[in-house]
Amino acid sequence: MAVSSKNPPNFPPTSPKTGLKQRATKLIGPLVLLGPAGLWLLLLLVLPTLVIFQLSLVENIRPGDVVIPDGIANYLRVFDPVNLQVIGRSLFFAFGTTILCLVLGFPVAYWIAINAPSRWRNLLLLGFVLPLWTSSLLRTYAWITILRPTGVLNSFLGVLGLPALELLNRTPAVLIGMAYSYLPYIVTVLYASLEKLDRRLLEASADLGAKPTETFWKVTVPQARAGIAAGALLVFISSLGDFVDPELLGGASSMTVSRLIFNQFLGATQNWGFGSALSMVLIMGVSLAIALLLKYGDGRPSK
């Protein structure tokens, strides 16, 4: 017997309490899983950042002063020529380190992913990760031992009859130390991307008569573009806030944003407001780089 469309079957109505209970049940699971991490981030990231932002709006505040936000004078001070020079130096170190890591790390990652025997790949990657098991401070002091005027490098050059190099407390020493510190990161990221290369395209390019350089720029790089972006931005973000390498390898002439912030909080000036403003500028710059990393560094090869 056909059921008339004018009289649809009657279902028992859902009570408002039942609907609320179902929605609450759906929310409990995510809250239980994300609650501890969310509370941790709230207490140790969000709230401190808000406190720093509040302090950045107070001019010439010192420890113990009353916090009364009164303007953006600290942010305007960031644009003083001396401070812009420090920010420019930090950006120079970050860009220089990123380029060095790309130039040095890409051939290594490519060789491990494409040419190295599969049974040795994990061991080779472990060799690059091993330096990270030691303190960054110890690695920097090791470079001081190597690069100082009477260090290992100049002693070796003296044996060869070559002139000594003045590298310590100069820009090249900072770039060498920072590139060494962040090279393992970019090698591992690039390896993860290059391992997924479609080798049939490389073979097809060679069969069609393309030169190795053409294959590299037109086949390899487009496929590894996401990994290159991810590795480069990871190194840039890390090196932009590096404190140890510029301080120990560059000396007084290598003042960076991190050192300038340190001086405002723990140095003789004790200007927490300006230090907070510099911190917020650095946070915003790193946040922009992270946004680019999330957009272009998804780790999947580009087709």
Each residue's pLDDT tens digit, 241-297: 888 899 899 887 788 998 999 888 887 777 888 989 999 998 888 888 888 777 765
What is the Rg, in whole angstroms, of the alpha carbon atoms belonging to the chain?
27
Query: For residue 153, what are the contacts with CB-CB under 8 A and spacing of at least 6?
Result: 146, 147, 165, 167
pLDDT in tens, 203-228: 888 888 888 888 888 888 888 888 89
- Cα–Cα distance measured from residue 291 to residue 233, given in angstroms and rounded to the nearest whole number: 10
What residue spans define the domains of the chain? Answer: 93-269
Token code pair at residue 292: 């680019």
Query: For residue 209, what are the contacts with CB-CB under 8 A and spacing of at least 6?
Result: none
- Cα–Cα distance measured from residue 293 to residue 106, given in angstroms and rounded to the nearest whole number: 18
Does the model's pTM come out above 0.85?
no
Token code pair at residue 50: 């808000």
The stretch 68-92 carries a mean pLDDT of: 89
DSSP category for residue 89: H
pLDDT for 97 beyond 50: yes
Token code pair at residue 272: 């927490």
Token code pair at residue 123: 């061991």
Q: What is the mean pLDDT of the chain?
A: 83
In this structure, are residues 97 and 109 in contact, taking their beta carbons and an 8 Å threshold?
no
Answer whether CATH 1.10.3720.10 is correct for domain 93-269.
Answer: yes
Q: What confidence category does residue 104 fall into, taking pLDDT thresholds of 50, 70 and 90?
A: very high
Tell me the percentage of the chain whose pLDDT exceeds 70. 89
Token code pair at residue 132: 């990270």
